[in-house]
Amino acid sequence: MNRITSKLQSKDKILSIYITAGYPKLADTVSVIQSLEKYGVDMIEIGLPYSDPLADGKTIQNSSTQALHNGMTTEVLFEQLQNIRKQVSIPLIIMGYFNPILQYGVEAFCQKCNEIGIDGLIIPDLPVELYEKQYKTLFKKYNLFNILLITPQTSEARIRAIDRISEGFIYAVSTASVTGKSLEFGENEMNYFQRIKNLKLRNPFLVGFGIHSAKTFEQATFYSKGAIIGSAFIKFITENNSARIKQFVASLKSN
């Protein structure tokens, strides 16, 4: 069974953290993943840095630029993760824009992910229709879940279509925004989360974008199976030593 499925079956209020591979230092990838698991994070999104991340705000853009500057590449990331399954057991997802994956070769990329023990991919600029037509069987072959996004603007019909081809979970973007905007969830967001919940989809949904505190984590997971924190974590390890990851994780559960 895919580790994402077993994790989601065994636990509620999933805490998923996004990290930028090769950030702050090139060699930090694995140790950051290990610390996050050690301090109770349930799932990790490993960001393959990209020069032009269209859906990301300043924080993740800057960490990506720094990681590329540090020498991170697709090849280097795979080398770093070579033994990751001897080191951690929680589900691991690679989040990357489509062009670097295309240049590596989509099948070669999927095969490598499978060898290493990656459980899913998030490719925000790979259109759903193209995935379904051209890559779905490939993802299946290598036991990779393709995690698809929905937003407050996504129509019910499209959410249902996305649900039909999704595996693992659906990534519900909390609000019309790029990553990194610290939000306080109000009525609009709550109504949106409730609306998704009421659809009783096949797949559970996790909320991402704007979550940065115990409060927003609680608000999101009141309706959803879990929540994803990206920019707030990147900001934290930019400003603090990665030795303080324990405090960061604890601060999210302090309610």
Partner 1 sequence: MSFKVNKKGFYGDFGGAFIPEMLYPNIEELKQNYLKIIKDKVFQKEYHALLKEYAGRPTPLYYAKNLSELYHTNIYLKREDLLHTGAHKMNNTIGQILVAKRLGKKRIIAETGAGQHGVATATVCALMGMQCVVYMGETDIQRQAPNVARMKMLGSEVISVNSGSKTLKDATNEAIRDWISNPEDTYYIIGSVVGPHPYPDMVARLQSVISKEIKTQLMQKRMASSPDYVIACVGGGSNAAGAFYHFLENEKVKLIAVEAAGKGNDSGHSAATSVLGKIGIIHGSMTLLMQSEDGQITEPYSISAGLDYPGIGPLHAHLKATKRAEFVSVTDDEAMQWGLKLARMEGIIPAIESAHAFAVLDRQKFKPTDVVVINLSGRGDKDLNTYIHYFNL
The CB-of-214 to partner 1 minimum distance in angstroms stands at 25
Query: Does the footprint of partner 1 cover residue 71 (CB under 8 A)?
Result: no
- One-letter identity of residue 86: K
| Whether 42 is catalytic | no
- Say how far apart CA 199 and CA 244 lie, in whole Å: 39
Rg, the chain, Cα only: 17
Query: Does the footprint of partner 1 cover residue 214 (CB under 8 A)?
Result: no
- What is the footprint of partner 1 within residues 174-193 (CB under 8 A)? 176-178, 181
**Angle at Cα 205 formed by Cα 24 and Cα 58, nearest 5°?**
30
Query: Does the footprint of partner 1 cover residue 107 (CB under 8 A)?
Result: no
Query: Does the footprint of partner 1 cover residue 238 (CB under 8 A)?
Result: no
The CB-of-161 to partner 1 minimum distance in angstroms stands at 11
What CA–CA distances, in Å, run from 4 to 120, 143, 165, 208, 209? 8, 11, 16, 16, 20
Contact assessment for residue 31 and residue 14, using Cβ atoms and an 8 Å cutoff: no
Query: Does the footprint of partner 1 cover residue 138 (CB under 8 A)?
Result: no
> Which residues participate in catalysis according to the annotation?
45, 56
User: Where on the chain is the footprint of partner 1 (CB under 8 A)?
Assistant: 50-52, 54-55, 57-58, 61, 65, 68, 73-75, 97-104, 124-128, 130, 148-151, 153-155, 158, 173, 176-178, 181
